[in-house]
Amino acid sequence: MATLKELTGKKELFSGGHRLCSGCGIPPIVRLILRSTDCPVVVTTATGCLEVGTSIYPYTSWRTPWIHSAFENAAATISGVETAYRALKKRNKLPVNKDIKFVAFGGDGGTYDIGLQALSGALERGHSFLYVCYDNGAYMNTGIQRSSSTPFGANTTTSPAGDVIQGKQEFRKDLTKIVIAHNVPYAAQASPHHWKDLNNKAQKALSTNGPTFLNVISPCPLGWYTKPEESIESAKLAVDTCFWPLYEVENGILKVNYKPKEKKPVIEWIKIQGRFKHILKPENKWMIEKFQDRVDNEWERLLSLDGKQV
């Protein structure tokens, strides 16, 4: 694991001056992941906040070879690039004999939903790349519509809290479980508030041969209705309440990386976000209880698997 001094001394591959919102969780996630290898990196990005905020013509924030993919095909794009690299390397047609790493970034809309078919196919075929989902829990780039990652009860423009419904009525899809079911060599959940854990997981993923996956919670002040300066704290609360547990599955063995000394109730995470303000009403107490039961059950299930083959 690299020290903070070592990381800060590495070349910056993701420059400042981008158009991402103040307090957005994406920049620290991308910067740290790209600093987690000394190899050259090729990046593709699905349509979304990251792509729009970093590539407004004629400017770019990318100091790596970078490809903009559509919502649905980032994993297919990086698969093609990785396949071309292997073919050229086999024929000794590369100018330098150095390993190149391949990384795809996508939001939850472009990963959980629209891009799931391409991701599943790339994982099944066994391409050697890292896929990073920056999960902010909705289609933030196009107007804060619900995604299958949106938490239960959250207010979005397509699951509004009103007289008919009280926000999204379904629990979020567990994409990390779906990826693990593909028997990939490495998959993990991480948070930008815990830089050591995220760096360690990115290093593991980028040094592993085969498809790897990181699901990283990404606070969004615009869609979560939080203050920009609260973003890292909101990510930390998501972990401390066990809504977003930090764990990894390496060669089939699950390891819980962080167990809170005192697990906080999920309302501590909910109450700082304006998208949940309606469920704090007395008549919606049942929603908080339902949310807490789900978090508790999932956390206990995860603990029961700690150190075991999954």
Give one DSSP letter per residue of 252-309, joined into a string. TEEEE----SSPPPTHHHHTT-GGGGGGGSGGGHHHHHHHHHHHHHHHHHHHHHTTSB
Q: Is the pLDDT of residue 97 over 80?
A: no
Confidence band, pLDDT 50/70/90 cuts, at residue 74: very high
Q: Is the pLDDT of residue 202 over 90?
A: yes
- What is the β-pairing status of strands 186-190 and 247-250? antiparallel
Q: Is the pLDDT of residue 98 over 80?
A: no
- What is the β-pairing status of strands 130-135 and 212-217? parallel
| pLDDT of amino acid 2 | 80
Confidence band, pLDDT 50/70/90 cuts, at residue 58: very high
Q: Is the pLDDT of residue 1 over 90?
A: no
Q: In whole angstroms, give the CA distance from residue 72 to residue 83.
A: 19
Query: What domains does the chain contain, in order, with CATH numbers?
Result: 4-305 (3.40.50.970)
Q: In whole angstroms, give the CA distance from residue 69 to residue 51.
A: 9
pLDDT in tens, 109-139: 999 999 999 999 999 999 999 999 999 999 9
Contact 184, 208 (CB under 8 A): no
pLDDT in tens, 8-54: 889 899 999 999 999 999 999 999 999 999 999 999 999 999 999 99
Neighbours of 157 (CB within 10 A): 13
User: Average model confidence (pLDDT) for the chain?
Assistant: 96
The tokens for 13 are 């591959």
Q: In whole angstroms, give the CA distance from residue 74 to residue 68.
A: 8
| Side chain identity, residue 268 | E
| pLDDT of amino acid 4 | 85
